[in-house]
Structure 1
Amino acid sequence: MRESHLPKLVGLCSVSVAGLILAGCAHTTSRTELNQFQHAYYSKNHQRADQVSKSALAEDKKQKDAPLWNLENGVNAFMMDKYKDSLVTLDKANKTFDTNFKNMEKAVDKVGAATYGSAMNVPYEGHMYEWVLTNYYMALDYAFLGDKQDARVEFNRTIDRERRIKDVYNKELAKAEAEFQKAKQKNASMANKMVAGMSSLDSELKSKFSNLEQFSAYNGFVNPLVNYVGGLFFANNGDKGKAMDELKEVYGVSHNEIVGEDLKNLMHHSHEKYTWVIVEDGMQPTLQEYKIPSINFALPTIQDGRSFHDSFKIVANGKSENMGVLSNFAIIFQKEYQATLPAIKNRAIASAILKTGTEAALKTAGEYAPGYGGLAASLGGSILHATNKASTAADTRSSNVFPNTVYLGRVDNKSHKFSIQIDNLHKDFTLAPCNGKAAAPGQICSDTNNIVFVRTFPSPKELNVRALSL
């Protein structure tokens, strides 16, 4: 009687195991390529970084990681002053991110669940801070191209997306909790043991996040950098009301003294001209893997970012002033991670339960099907265990082009010259009227409001500097 069911059993095991091996062997992001890009980017070899990112896009036949590489490539192009190229690739990333965002708002299930494979096999959805920064850099691209109308559109999208994030995350948490409860019904004992067994990890993370209490104002996933630059843009392009709203929010988060003075100037309709200096320093945090292979469990954890420099000053009229912190990307990254961790943990536990349960089912099938069928089922269980062990991986994909900390300084345009001093590096400028013409090299227009953007790199000789007249 049992023999009559052997072909069916063999076929089922073959299909199941083959499918799971394919899931386990599916494409994963090449850490080597990300590391190559990172090395080139922070060595200021932006041409090489461009080649690495474009090569990764070409090799990614299913375009699972395309949004990440388009984001990386777009920001790198911005650093090379190739604003049109930057817009093209950032727009591609933005369209995917926008679709993901709308799906999350509607609570639509993720495409390509990673229950039986690696979480890195799921198409890259991006992190919320990346979604916001994609619009932010597109706004800057348009601004540097002199297209203020489209820059305004992108700044509006940036800020609107930032404000809608909290609701989206609440829906994601609810979905992940539902997945966890469904898996828990299959094996409540294992679920409870895994939750209890994570107490040491939870304690470690709690200790790591202990400093977040002093940054409680960083709520709702607000990034003061994007709100502040957007606010300055609005103030100088006919929308003082919106500018006030953004600067109030920035001041509430950063308590930066210059932001407070800007608010007062807006309230009193000041006509003074200023040049703001925004310095992006260091390298943002990224993700690394925490893994327990024996139970097919993996989580992404934070790999700390780092600063490149210690001293940030503006020197004007013989007076030196320290620049203050405008935005702490490390805190923004940690806040997002902390907010999403419950969902990530629930999905990781659900995946571990379902994988381990499938292994057990195949082993049981082997015990009850002697002969060739039993051998096939047992072999299937062994292969599946090896496949699950190999394929269980946390999704550690993230951008690596953004800073760790952003600093803010300001110069009154009545000054004749000023200098930006970062450790032993300095960049000198003269302030003179431009009368509607482009500024000469080393000159800042004294008859317009301006922002000087500075990006630091590990090299002691290099700063990336560009000035924008508002």
Structure 2
Amino acid sequence: MIKPWCAVFVVVAAAMLSGCSTAQHRDQLALFNSAYAAGDYDSALKAVSFSQPENKPVDPGAHLLELLHQGEMYRLTDRNSESVKAYDLAEDGMKNLDTAGLFENTVEGLMAVMVNDSERDYKALMSEAVLVNTYKALAFLAEGNNDYARVEFNRANDRTRRAVEFFRKEIAEQQAVLKSEAQSGNRKASMVQSSLGSREFQSAVHNRYGSSSTWSVFPEFIVPASTWLHGIYFLANAEGGADYERAATSLKRVAEISPQSAALRADADLATGLASGTQSLAALPSQVWVVYENGLGPVLRESRLDVPLILLHGNQQVPAYFGIALPEYAERPAIPGSIGVSDASGQVATTERISDMGKVFRTEMKERFPWVLARAVTSAIGKAVLQKEAADQFGPIGQLFATVLTVATTQADLRSWQALPNHWQAARIDRPDDGRLTLLGHRGEVLGNLDVPQQPFTLVYVKRPTAQAPATVIIMDLQGKTNATFARFPE
């Protein structure tokens, strides 16, 4: 058992390290966001770079968050091979975190409970993992590597399919460990279990966050943009009825969760018609889809609240209020309106909103919230016990010192992948005979001219984080037979 003075020493040392790492992380993201919002992706990439000793492999678990940002900055600067390498390492980091050894988990868990969750290696969200596979698929398409693109679209879809079971297993394992430790006589585990189950605690959380059943979420876990891209990819690459059914399933699923979207419904109808044979592929004009990643995605903010915890003094349960810090998502701005493409005849296809990143995150947070609460309560009770032990050992001075440390180290983990959009938009238009389309901005202004090659299915991918940044435009063959063309508008 750790002696009180040893525990205090550990917390002091960890708090100093935590303060340094938190400040470094905050400064790094500030530099990244400043450059990213301006469209200066080379400077943004530099902000998330890290030094690596020669002849030593990268530790993807320790650098997961940097690798996620690097992968997207490489992709937005037409360096697709480097993007894939960064995303491959990020996926390795996700696997390492899922399969970490007992000692590593024990050390990380101790530091997180004694200090805060920022001391743990970053653990990617399932939605982030889905988007890694989607962005890798787009990078492979841009390189004309259709076989690998197919693999990544399938992986993104499989992650989505397995997500619900993953969340259920994660929560069940955490609850089983807590119950087992409480039944074995672990006093802290017993206090955590009693606190989480108390009406007063549930009421305090409900008053701050409301019922999770009322959150604006999808009925089930999905990253609609990824599922939509999976659908149009298999529509364009169908080798038979099974692939058309696969496309129809994905596109219908996205259309069903956004019934107000005419664009999504039209795509689902097209795939369903091709699958059933009522729509002839030979009679279908060459199609051009436009997908638009608009704005800056949500970021985490800290929410502090006092909650009643059940502490044990001798054999008696004593309620006491302690502060906990929880993360919650805050929206960042998007560019107003839509974009469009027009042909020489004056026909215009305007994008419409198909998916919000915030709703994706809240859907996942709803599933993970019991786990987040349990970790916050475990940390708070651990520090409450430390305060009592410090008071018993060192008197009022020890209690004061432990209280100051508790306040200093009670922080929510606010790390997140900040190169994701506020939302996605989409549109579809027949390819004009001359292949010429004009890209229109959100005010109807001309951003640039597009030359769409003569091919059955084309994806015009547009990403713009702010109106101050140029729009990155990548014109891809959805069948992956040719390399993409890359531009930034306005030039």
Q: TM-score range by the shorter chain?
A: 0.7 to 0.9
State the alpha-carbon separation in 1 of the partners of residues 425 and 75 from structure 2: 20
Does the residue aligned with 2:14 lie in a helix, a strand or coil? helix
State the alpha-carbon separation in 2 of the partners of residues 269 and 258 from structure 1: 15
2:39–2:468 Cα contact (<8 Å) kept: no
The question of 1:146 aligning with 2:153 is answered: no
1:290–1:300 Cα contact (<8 Å) kept: yes
Cα–Cα, structure 1 residues 418 and 187, in superposed 2: closer, same or farther, change >3 Å? closer
Q: Alignment partner for residue 41 of structure 1, among 36, 39, 47?
A: 36
Cα shift at 1:223: 1.1
Write out per-residue CA displacement over residues 161-189 of structure 1, whole angstroms, 9 at most, x where no aligned residue: 11111111112222443566644623777
Cα shift at 1:388: 2.4
Aligned residues: 430
Matches within 5 A, 1:252-263: 252-255=256-259, 256-263=264-271
How many percent identity over aligned positions?
22
Cα shift at 1:466: 0.8
The question of 1:23 aligning with 2:20 is answered: no
The question of 1:421 aligning with 2:440 is answered: yes
Cα shift at 1:321: 4.0
Q: Which residue of 2 aligns with 1:404?
A: 422
State the alpha-carbon separation in 2 of the partners of residues 303 and 76 from structure 1: 23
Q: Alignment partner for residue 161 of structure 1, among 159, 162, 177?
A: 159
1:283–1:401 Cα contact (<8 Å) kept: yes
Aligned-partner residue type, residue 112 of structure 1: E
2:37–2:468 Cα contact (<8 Å) kept: no
Q: Alignment partner for residue 191 of structure 2, among 163, 186, 189?
A: 186
State the alpha-carbon separation in 1 of the partners of residues 35 and 16 from structure 2: 29
Cα shift at 1:336: 1.3
Q: Which residue of 2 aligns with 1:438?
A: none
State the alpha-carbon separation in 2 of the partners of residues 266 and 78 from structure 1: 32
Q: Which residue of 2 aligns with 1:359?
A: 387
Q: Which residue of 2 aligns with 1:291?
A: 304
Q: Which residue of 2 aligns with 1:308?
A: 335
1:20–1:116 Cα contact (<8 Å) kept: yes
Cα–Cα, structure 1 residues 455 and 93, in superposed 2: closer, same or farther, change >3 Å? same
Q: Alignment partner for residue 206 of structure 1, among 192, 199, 210?
A: 210
The question of 1:83 aligning with 2:80 is answered: yes
Matches within 5 A, 1:316-331: 316=343, 317-331=345-359
Q: Which residue of 1 aligns with 2:466?
A: 458
State the alpha-carbon separation in 2 of the partners of residues 102 and 415 from structure 1: 53
Does the residue aligned with 1:453 lie in a helix, a strand or coil? strand
Cα–Cα, structure 1 residues 20 and 96, in superposed 2: closer, same or farther, change >3 Å? same
Cα–Cα, structure 1 residues 82 and 132, in superposed 2: closer, same or farther, change >3 Å? same
2:299–2:331 Cα contact (<8 Å) kept: yes
Cα–Cα, structure 1 residues 149 and 262, in superposed 2: closer, same or farther, change >3 Å? same
Q: Alignment partner for residue 246 of structure 2, among 242, 245, 264?
A: 242
Deviates more, 1:226-235 or 1:172-181: 172-181
Cα shift at 1:242: 2.5
Write out per-residue CA displacement over residues 14-72 of structure 1, whole angstroms, 9 at most, x where no aligned residue: 433222223323343411111210111121111101111104889xx987651111001
State the alpha-carbon separation in 2 of the partners of residues 342 and 56 from structure 1: 37
Does the residue aligned with 2:49 lie in a helix, a strand or coil? helix
Does the residue aligned with 1:301 lie in a helix, a strand or coil? strand
Write out per-residue CA displacement over residues 135-193 of structure 1, whole angstroms, 9 at most, x where no aligned residue: 11111111111111111111111111111111111122224435666446237776677
Backbone CA RMSD of aligned residues: 3.1
Cα shift at 1:246: 2.0
State the alpha-carbon separation in 2 of the partners of residues 110 and 263 from structure 1: 49
The question of 1:392 aligning with 2:387 is answered: no
Aligned-partner residue type, residue 142 of structure 2: F
Does the residue aligned with 1:295 lie in a helix, a strand or coil? strand
Q: Which residue of 2 aligns with 1:251?
A: 255
Cα–Cα, structure 1 residues 211 and 344, in superposed 2: closer, same or farther, change >3 Å? closer
Does the residue aligned with 2:342 lie in a helix, a strand or coil? strand
Aligned-partner residue type, residue 418 of structure 1: L
Aligned-partner residue type, residue 227 of structure 1: T
State the alpha-carbon separation in 2 of the partners of residues 250 and 447 from structure 1: 26
Cα–Cα, structure 1 residues 111 and 357, in superposed 2: closer, same or farther, change >3 Å? closer
Aligned-partner residue type, residue 15 of structure 2: G
Q: Which residue of 1 aligns with 2:108?
A: 112
The question of 1:278 aligning with 2:271 is answered: no
Aligned-partner residue type, residue 289 of structure 1: E
Matches within 5 A, 1:52-63: 52-55=47-50
Matches within 5 A, 1:63-74: 65-74=62-71
Q: Which residue of 1 aligns with 2:45?
A: 50
Cα shift at 1:252: 2.3
Deviates more, 1:334-343 or 1:79-88: 334-343
Cα shift at 1:381: 4.2
Deviates more, 1:410-419 or 1:345-354: 410-419
1:64–1:121 Cα contact (<8 Å) kept: no
Cα–Cα, structure 1 residues 20 and 200, in superposed 2: closer, same or farther, change >3 Å? closer
State the alpha-carbon separation in 2 of the partners of residues 112 and 461 from structure 1: 39
Unaligned stretches of 5+ in structure 2? Answer: 183-187, 307-320, 479-491
State the alpha-carbon separation in 2 of the partners of residues 466 and 35 from structure 1: 27
State the alpha-carbon separation in 2 of the partners of residues 323 and 38 from structure 1: 26
Unaligned stretches of 5+ in structure 1? Answer: 1-8, 368-377, 430-441
Cα shift at 1:422: 2.7
Cα–Cα, structure 1 residues 339 and 405, in superposed 2: closer, same or farther, change >3 Å? same
Q: Which residue of 2 aligns with 1:100?
A: 97
Aligned-partner residue type, residue 159 of structure 1: N
Q: Which residue of 1 aligns with 2:317?
A: none
Aligned-partner residue type, residue 313 of structure 1: G
2:108–2:120 Cα contact (<8 Å) kept: yes
Does the residue aligned with 1:115 lie in a helix, a strand or coil? helix
1:56–1:69 Cα contact (<8 Å) kept: no
Q: Which residue of 2 aligns with 1:233?
A: 233
Write out per-residue CA displacement over residues 289-337 of structure 1, whole angstroms, 9 at most, x where no aligned residue: 1125883521111112321122333434323343222222121011112
State the alpha-carbon separation in 1 of the partners of residues 41 and 468 from structure 2: 17
Does the residue aligned with 2:210 lie in a helix, a strand or coil? helix
Aligned-partner residue type, residue 396 of structure 1: L
1:180–1:349 Cα contact (<8 Å) kept: no
Aligned-partner residue type, residue 338 of structure 1: K
